[in-house]
Amino acid sequence: MITQKEIIPYRIYQARVSRGLSMPELAELIEVSKQAVSQYETGKSKPSEGTLNRIADVLRYSPDFFRKPLLANTSASSGIFFRSKKTAKAKDLKAAEVKLEILQEINSYLSQYIDFPKVKFPKADYDYHEIIPIGNDEIEAYAQTLRKFWNLGNGPIDNLINVVQKNGIVISSSHFNLGKLDGLSEWSNNTPTIFMSRDKDTNCRIRFGIAHELGHLLMHAGNIPPEDILNKTIHSKLEDEANRFAGAFLLPAESFGGDVFSSSIDHFIQLKAKWKVSIAAMIYRCQSLNILTVNQIKYLNDQLTYLHYRQHEPLDSEMPIEQPFAHKQAVNLLLEYNIIQPLDFVRAIGCTASELEDYCCLPKGTLSQTNSDNIIQLRSTPKKTIHTVG
C-alpha cells in the first residue's frame, strides 16, 4: 500500500502568496473561512482532499506541489534585495519573493543532471553604516574589483547576461506584471540569484537592473541584517549605492569619460550604441564624474524632456534584448537526450507547463507538446550529468 505524503503547510502559503492573494480572498474562492486558510498554512489543521484540489485548481499548482519537500538550506540567506519603487505593494514584493524561491527549486532540480558554471564572485570589504551612504570612491573601487575579477577590462560589456551566467550566477526573468518592481536578488545556498522582471521593454533598462543587483550581491549580501533591509530609510540608501555601482560598473570612469567630448544629444545617442546604457543614465554618470558642467547637464536633461526621450529613447526598439539562456539550454539538452520528459519536469516543480516555460525562458509549447503519433520511445536512461558550455 502506497502511503500518501503529508501536506506541507508552507506550500499552501507559498502558492497563495505567489498569486498575490490574501487569506480572505483565497478563503472566498475555495469556500472556507479565513481562519481555516490560516490553520492550513500554519499546520494546525489539514485541508481535506477535496479542499486541497480546490486550492490547487484556484492557485494553478498541481496537488502534488503541496506535498513536495522544501528545498534544504545549506547556508543562511543574505536577505532579499528588491529593486522597486517606494510605492510597491507589500503583497507584490512577497509574490516576487516566493517566485524567487520557486526559481531556486527549478535550478536545484536541473542541477541533478547539469553541471552549471561554478560561482566566481569576489568578496567585498563593505563597511556598513545604517544611514550614512558610502562614498563614490568606494563605489568605483567595488566596480573595478568585479571587472578585474571577471577579466572584463574597461570597455563596453557586449552581453552582460552572458558574463553573469558564465560566472555561476543564476539569472532568470519572468512576467511579474508588477509595474513597481524591476527585479530582486539573493545569495542563498552559496549561490547568487538574480530574478528580473520581463515587463521592462528595453535592453538598457534590463542591463542596468542586472548591474544594480550585482551591486547588492557584491556590497550588501551578507553584510546587512535582514531586518534592516526592510527599513525604508536604509532601503533607500542601499538602492542609491546599488544604482551608483551600476553606473560605475557599466561605464568605467576613465574609458567612458574619455569618450565624452560633446554635450549634444546626437553624441549621446552614439555613446548609447557603443556602451548599451541609456542616455539618462549616461547623463547622470557624467554629472557624478564632473565630466560636464552644470549648464551642460541641465541642457541635456532639458533635451530629454523636450524630445520626449524620457518615455522612449532612440535605439530602444532597435537594440536586441539580452535573454537568460542557461536554464533554457539545460532543459533542451535534457529533453533532446531523453533524460527527462516534459511531464516529469512539470510534475517535479508543480506549477503549470506554461509558467515553467516562462521561468526557464523556453518557447511556448516546449513542455506541453505531446507526440501522440509516436507509439515507441527511447528507453529511459539513468541520471547522468551534462556539462554545459557557455
Q: Convert the pLDDT of each residue in 72-84 to its tens digit.
A: 876 666 788 887 6
Least-confidence region, from 225-229, 251-255, 315-319, 344-348: 225-229
Does a structural domain hold residue 1? no
Question: 278 and 172: one domain?
Answer: no
Does a structural domain hold residue 40? yes
pLDDT band at 389 (very low <50, low <70, confident <90, very high): very low
DSSP class per residue in 262-319: ---HHHHHHHHHHH---HHHHHHHHHHHT-S-HHHHHHHHHHHHHTTTTTS-TTTTTS
**What pLDDT is attached to residue 71?**
87
pLDDT above 60: residue 27: yes
Confirm if 77 and 226 have CB atoms less than 8 A apart: yes
Question: 239 and 134: one domain?
Answer: yes
Question: 166 and 216: one domain?
Answer: yes
Question: 56 and 201: one domain?
Answer: no
pLDDT above 70: residue 62: yes
**What pLDDT is attached to residue 373?**
45
Pull the grid cell for residue 333.
539538452
The pLDDT of 41-59, averaged and rounded, is 96
Domains in the chain, number: 3
Confirm if 334 and 386 have CB atoms less than 8 A apart: yes
Question: 127 and 174: one domain?
Answer: yes
Question: 93 and 232: one domain?
Answer: yes
Question: 238 and 340: one domain?
Answer: yes
**What pLDDT is attached to residue 307?**
97
Question: 216 and 356: one domain?
Answer: yes
Q: What is the CATH number of the domain that holds 66?
A: 1.10.260.40
pLDDT in tens, 256-304: 999 999 999 999 999 999 999 999 999 999 999 999 999 999 999 999 9
Give residues with Cβ within 8 angstroms of 77, minimum separation 6: 186, 187, 188, 226
Number of other residues whose CB lies within 10 A of the CB of residue 153: 11
pLDDT above 80: residue 1: no
**What pLDDT is attached to residue 253?**
97
**Which residue, 49, 70, 91, sits at the end of a domain?**
70
The pLDDT of 94-119, averaged and rounded, is 94
Select the more confidently predicted residue: 359 or 379.
Answer: 359
Question: 212 and 349: one domain?
Answer: yes
Select the more confidently predicted residue: 4 or 260.
Answer: 260
**What pLDDT is attached to residue 104?**
94
Confirm if 155 and 255 have CB atoms less than 8 A apart: yes
Question: 20 and 157: one domain?
Answer: no
Does a structural domain hold residue 4? no
**What pLDDT is attached to residue 11?**
97
Does a structural domain hold residue 339? yes
Does a structural domain hold residue 3? no
Q: Give me the chain's average pLDDT, please.
A: 90
pLDDT above 80: residue 199: no
Question: 40 and 133: one domain?
Answer: no
Beta bridge partners of 114: 386
**Which residue, 36, 70, 104, sits at the end of a domain?**
70
Question: 243 and 259: one domain?
Answer: no
Q: What is the CATH number of the domain that holds 127?
A: 1.10.10.2910
Domain region containing 388: 76-249+325-390
pLDDT above 60: residue 120: yes
The pLDDT of 325-329, averaged and rounded, is 96
pLDDT above 80: residue 308: yes
Using a 10 angstrom Cβ sphere, with 0-12 exposed, 13-18 middle and 19 or more buried, the burial of residue 162 is middle
The pLDDT of 146-175, averaged and rounded, is 95
Select the more confidently predicted residue: 84 or 12.
Answer: 12
pLDDT above 50: residue 371: no
**Which residue, 296, 321, 346, sits at the end of a domain?**
321
Does a structural domain hold residue 273? yes
